[in-house]
Amino acid sequence: MMYGILFVVIGLACLLLMQNIQKQKQTQPQYRQEDPSALSAYQIQLIQASWQGIIPIKEQAAKLFYARLFELDPSVKKLFKGKLDYQGDKLMTTLNVVVNSLDNLEQVETMLQAMGKRHIIYGVEAAHFETVGAALLSVLEQGLGDNFTEEVKEAWVIAYSLIADTMKQAAYGS
């Protein structure tokens, strides 16, 4: 249950960070190099298009996510209380919000920050974010098959990093 919320928070944090980065880019002089961690419009399109391939299998994707998460780090299973199908639904709903807000992350930045802070209560540690990211990428790879290209993977890695960083900054100050 906690990882689902964590993932939602991470997703929202990513969106908010993306919005801030995009606004900064708009105010920067043309000669400045763009932030290499920011998502381009093309990468946002890749993420949103690939997400459409996950939506029809979202229940299965959520189950795969938790199975992979617990496989990668069995100790996190104790952080989840309640039914995983409910948690999985929350996870997919949050991811959907974040993915659909990638071009305007400010809309979800506050939500991601709040989720990051809440995850401390559940016992989530900063290191768990890496495991969640690995589980997410694994699910995307399985769910998208050949459509999970290196370009798509790179875009998701950047997006997840932005989300996770927003949540961790709010929760742990780092």
Query: pLDDT digits over 10-49, tens only?
Result: 544 444 444 444 544 443 333 222 454 589 999 999 999 9
Inside any domain, residue 32: no
For position 167, what pLDDT does the model report?
Answer: 93
For residue 106, the model assigns a pLDDT of 85
pTM (two decimals): 0.78
Domain residues for 84? 2-21+38-172
pLDDT at 76: 94
Q: Bigger pLDDT: 151 or 106?
A: 151
The total domain count for the chain is 1
User: Is residue 58 included in any domain, yes or no?
Assistant: yes
Chain-centroid distance of CA 148 in Å reads 16
Q: Is residue 30 part of a domain?
A: no
- Whole-angstrom distance, CA of residue 156 vs CA of residue 136: 9
Instruction: Read off the pLDDT band of 110 (50, 70, 90).
Output: very high
